[in-house]
Chains A and B, each alone.
Chain A
Amino acid sequence: MCLAIPAQVVELREGDQAVIDLAGVRKEISLALVEDVWPGDYVIVHVGYALQKLDPREAEKTLALFAGLAESGAAA
């Protein structure tokens, strides 16, 4: 199961591309499958494409869940 870790859009680039920050790692991805995404928005990314835009409160909740796991070592 691919984990849906929220990634934050950092910068928009030409051709529907964007730079995202996924848990501190920056990657360039495509926004071709989602609409109305701006820097600061959270998206779910899979193999180079943003799949879905997230409600920011939901995204922060999910990030907190994963952060809690990392601290407890359960995700190792």
Chain B
Amino acid sequence: MAIEGELVVSIAAAAGRVTRAEARAERPRVAGALFRGRRAAEAAPLAGALFALCGRAQSIAAGAAVEAARGEEPGARRRIARDTAIAAETAQEHAWRLLVDWPVLAGLPPEVEALAAGRKAIAPLLAADEGLDPAPAARAVRDWAEEAVFGSRPGHFLRLASANDLLAWAREGRTGVARLAAKVLAGDAGLGASGVDFLPPGGGAALARELALAIEGDEGFDDTPHWRGKPRETGPLARMAGHPLVADALATWGRGVGARLSARLVETALALVSLDTARGEGHGHGALALGSGSAIAWVETARGLLLHRAALDGERIAAWRIVAPTEWNFHPEGAFSRGALGLAAGDAPGLERRVRWLVASLDPCVGVRYEAGHA
């Protein structure tokens, strides 16, 4: 296994169709062992240092969990600074998919320089603390995105209201991302559609309370999370399903690659618009005290819902659990496995390409190893 973690995807086909699709996240389970026994104040910096991709989200979740466990309420300024950082990290992660990973999959040139410029513009907002005025950096990021991603102001992109509007925008091809969308939507829009339902977006404290109970009663929950007994899809598509463009993409193409691409574009634009208008109202993150020094915190990260469940014993950490979005989407009966069932197998390279697209549309937070087998 890759030391930093890896998703092993294995596919079996018979009679021209995929009959079995499994994804195993092979990665060291370290949270419990690394957090236990440390001082509570160490949790947030430790989470930020341990996890490469969503370090801000991880450290916000850990910090919020400790606050709630101690019965503390973060002030409005802290909540706003956190929402700003979460939106910035989401935009940064989506930009990587749109500018580098997905063009490579589609056989288009990756836009590494554009991504590097975007990451540089976003960096001050990731570091946002309570004293920062996000407006100047937010303007710079929107200018960058106009040129590198949308070909217009992000707010203007958000006026697109249907799958046809999106196709027209894509065909105009003003940016590499638009040309990517044109290529993907022309060939693979319906790829991998699954019947797996979404985790309710913006579920907030009520959802967190329900999930905290489920975590409590199930040692294996962190590996195979579920809501009300069923696996769910989490991430941009689940969150953006109510936006007119994404709702129409869902109606047109189902819960697959095309709708997930649409949702990422819409969410990127929304994140950029909200960078300096965050009001800390608890849509992006929050925490709930569970009594006796325990708490659960949630963050809506780029890839979906992240949960940190903390139990303190005085100033020491007695137990810590993390449930990450990749485990929801790559659950044995989740959006990936269900979406891959029945895919046309065709020739081996074609099947690998289709499966890799489905995996990428769900954006796992680790590298992917593909294994083809026989039914």
Q: Which of B30, B55, B112, B365 contacts A75 (CB 8 A)?
A: B30
The answer to whether A30 and B112 have CB atoms under 8 Å apart is yes
| Total chain A interface residues with beta-carbon distance under 8 A | 28
Cβ of B84 to closest chain A Cβ, rounded Å? 19
Cβ of A25 to closest chain B Cβ, rounded Å? 7
Chain B, residue nearest A51 (CB): B52
Q: B4 contacts which chain A residues (CB < 8 A)?
A: 2-5, 22, 45-46
Chain A, residue nearest B116 (CB): A33
- Per the bound structure, the CA–CA distance linking A52 and B55 in Å amounts to 11
Q: Is A44 an interface residue (CB 8 A)?
A: yes
The answer to whether A22 and B52 have CB atoms under 8 Å apart is no
The answer to whether B34 and A69 have CB atoms under 8 Å apart is yes
The answer to whether B28 and A69 have CB atoms under 8 Å apart is yes
Q: A23 contacts which chain B residues (CB < 8 A)?
A: 3
How many residues of B sit at the interface, in one of the four size bands? 20 to 34
- Per the bound structure, the CA–CA distance linking A72 and B113 in Å amounts to 42
The answer to whether A5 and B3 have CB atoms under 8 Å apart is yes
Q: Is B230 an interface residue (CB 8 A)?
A: no
Q: Is B200 an interface residue (CB 8 A)?
A: no
The answer to whether B33 and A74 have CB atoms under 8 Å apart is yes
Cβ of B82 to closest chain A Cβ, rounded Å? 19
Q: Is B266 an interface residue (CB 8 A)?
A: no
Contacts A1-B365, A33-B112, A33-B119 given; does A46 touch B52 at CB 8 Å:
yes
Residues on A close to B: CB < 8 A? 1-5, 22-23, 25, 30, 32-33, 44-47, 49, 51-52, 58, 61-62, 65-66, 69, 72, 74-76
Residues on B close to A: CB < 8 A? 3-5, 27-30, 33-34, 49-55, 58, 100-101, 112-113, 115-116, 119, 322, 324, 326, 365-367
9 CB contacts below 8 A, A to B, read A1-B5, A2-B52, A4-B52, A33-B112, A45-B4, A46-B53, A51-B52, A66-B30, A69-B30
